[in-house]
Structure 1
């Protein structure tokens, strides 16, 4: 079906955004000119993938302080990069960002949508968002917020992602009419602050033209997506010290946690398996600090932390001893950072299940 003219329908967004836009360190003051620092736009957009603005801001500031341009990032070490990214999650984004920086340092910053799409880590949304904000190209950027705004304004009752191509064609003339950078950010701002999953229609500059509101169906547009099944697991996460230092798994080259150090772990271990002997009989002394629940997008871990000291011995396969004075500088994910912060915390006496987990780890099984 034909959509209402976007340039007319979305016209109130531009002055609304100029009046209410939140200060963000990557936003340009002049929204009618190309951005003075396209690299800052690129960094912010990759950091903002699946991460909220409030979380990103301090990471962005630290990142730009160490890597202020593509050339400095291209030359950065893996430990530096992952150290600055640690805790932000989705660590492949950091590797993609460095890959993009290397391409930019070598060949210059692409100034077309097609060129941006060739950079590592840039999909259709990120490339379009950078093109619009950095170079004032009328390239519609459709993320979850933009899809929700468009679906409600046009009363699309099915999944708006099914109409992605048509919605990009619909939005492009509005970007050209009201300014690509300004309108792109206005749509993002509206979706993040007003046209949220629970809409605040009374505060919306588009309330008079919103087809879903006219029909009274804004609360059920867009339709809820089926939830991904979350896997529930229980693990023992162990900080094991010895003469040489702390026992850790070095960073892998691939996977979600590539580039990050991690503590050794074991799954839930039955307490009755070989637990008749006390820990001291195995040359182990330890305690168990308070545990916690670690939530990921598709996984929920019940973490049982252990802090232990063992007699000095060879590291099990796939692990190595790391000097204690290096521990605080190692890049780690959020779960492993939490145990690192608790290595001096008090804890309950080592349980039989905890002892068995340690024995399993030290045996390399």
Structure 2
């Protein structure tokens, strides 16, 4: 059965959005014109990838104060950029954002969707969103919220992402008819505030036209994707201190935690606890949850009489510099605990064994 025409079906969205939209700092006042600051749109879209709006707002405001334009961000050093991103997670977004800003600062903004998609970190959705919101191009942007809204509205069976190309073609005439920026943001807003996984259909401007609602199937459209069970591990997270310096893993160029400083970690299965003399302090542990793994973390502070020569990639850092280093959430937590009272451990992994694991090989 063919889908209804998008300009007519989505017509109620624009007036609803005018009344119901949230006041967000990256939104332009006039949605009929190109955005006055495309860079702000780029920043917001990269920050909003896999992160809630309420979390992003303060980061966005601080970021624009620190890096008000693409040229300023492009010229910043990596530690400064990662420090400004600290706590927002998925740190490669910060590196992509800086690389995209460098391209814009050097060559200007691309003139079409293919050019935007060629910027670092801008996949099909983000490029289309920036095109529509920043430049008023009729480029359909389909994120998780939009896919959910359209799957219910059109009663799409199975994963709506499998019909992404068809949905973009269907949506494009509505963008032209009702305004690319306005309709794109209205669709996102509806999915974020009304057509959520547990929708409030009575508040929806499209409720009377929604095929899934009329069929009583909003609970199973779209189907919930199955996630792999996170891999579990048990870690000792260790702050070695010697003569006012702490041992940390210096940032690496690639990987999940690229650009971040880290405390040494040890698998508890490889370093069983035993009665241990010496200056070892701990605090209550916690479970650190990531997309694909869960870590049961036990934080330790181990005091040493003198620093040792560290293995490659490890560095001694003065305590005075700790607050200025970009750390992930797990490692921030141990940094903050260092100023809080802890308790002595009667049983802990052998400090000598941990030191040997972190020391440079003997000549």
TM-score range relative to shorter protein? over 0.9
- Pick from 325, 337, 340 the counterpart of residue 345 of structure 1: 340
Indicate conservation of the 8 Å contact 2:283/2:300, yes or no: yes
Aligned equivalents of 1:334, 1:15: Cα separation in 2: 41
**Is 2:356 aligned against 1:363?**
yes
1:292 aligned partner: 286
Indicate conservation of the 8 Å contact 2:234/2:269, yes or no: no
Q: In the comparison of the two structures, how many residue pairs are matched?
A: 357
1:334 aligned partner: 329
What is the correspondence of 1:1-365 to structure 2 with a 5 Å cutoff?
1-269=1-269, 275=274, 278-280=276-278, 285-317=279-311, 318-352=313-347, 354-356=348-350, 358-364=351-357
Distance 1:222 1:241, change over 3 A: same
Distance 1:272 1:134, change over 3 A: closer
Segments of 5+ residues of structure 2 without an aligned counterpart are: 359-363
Q: Which runs of 4+ in 1 moved over 3 A?
A: 269-273
Could you report, residue by residue, the CA deviation over 1:20-79 in whole angstroms, capped at 9, with x for unpaired residues? 110111100000000000000000000000001001111111111111101001101001
Aligned equivalents of 1:116, 1:351: Cα separation in 2: 58
Aligned equivalents of 1:53, 1:195: Cα separation in 2: 16
Indicate conservation of the 8 Å contact 2:272/2:349, yes or no: no
Q: TM-score, normalised by structure 2?
A: 0.96
Aligned equivalents of 1:4, 1:69: Cα separation in 2: 42
Which piece of structure 1 moves more, 147-156 or 226-235?
A: 226-235
Aligned equivalents of 2:45, 2:300: Cα separation in 1: 38
Could you report, residue by residue, the CA deviation over 1:245-279 in whole angstroms, capped at 9, with x for unpaired residues? 11111111111111110111101147767x45x42
Aligned equivalents of 1:302, 1:364: Cα separation in 2: 21
Distance 1:145 1:360, change over 3 A: farther
